[in-house]
Amino acid sequence: MRRDVEAARDRAPVAAAPQSSRAAGRRLPHSGMRRAIARRLTESKQQVPHFYLTVDCRMDALLALRAQANQGGAVKLSVNDFIVRAAALALREVPEVNASWHEDAIEFHAGADISVAVATDGGLVTPIVRDADVKPLSAIAAEIVELAGRAKVNRLKPEEFTGGSLTVSNLGMYGIKQFAAIINPPQAAILAVGAAERRPVVDDNGDLKAATVMTVTLSADHRVVDGAVGARWLAAFRALIEAPVRILL
């Protein structure tokens, strides 16, 4: 009897699991801009030998200066405005980074033109602030707002986002602490900027205290920029950020 029950159980059909229905996934055809961005980034990552350098910058002095400068000012300065000008001034101090690779030569640029990464619905766009090393911060701030506004509605002219010396990509407003960005050819470097946040630090006297710190990572093209050169540029940038009165001069 027991064998008969077991045999009948083995012959019984197995009930199928209940199936739940769901809508099909959505496909979004590539736009021309998305295809161009994908192509350039793929070429950059595959063909450009990236290397990465990271430093922490003390931000308390800069934040205090910014707050003072914004009191009653017609143009409100952002932290990114200071970063853009500091990047340009660092290019003036270390001009070896202000260069591009060509198959027959390295081209050193005459001006310090800083591209600013702007997120749009169609993808990442990098409008350029030309001669950012000689423009006052108020002019840089107004220009970034104007360029970013036109970038988001696809109203930039090709010459406004083509070329450039170095790109600043800032994700600090999203709470990103640190990241490494892909170089924007024909440039030889891009600066990835993280969030300014309160952290414990040890001062020069060995005492532990709280400070506002921002982590930045330089991605550099090793065909153009040697490691020591990239380190000198990053040191120059940090020195400007930590002594921000120099950025105003």
Residues with a known catalytic role = 222
Count of beta carbons in the 10 Å neighbourhood of residue 96: 17
* Structural contact between residues 122 and 33, judged by C-beta atoms closer than 8 angstroms: yes
CA 138/CA 150 separation, integer angstroms: 19
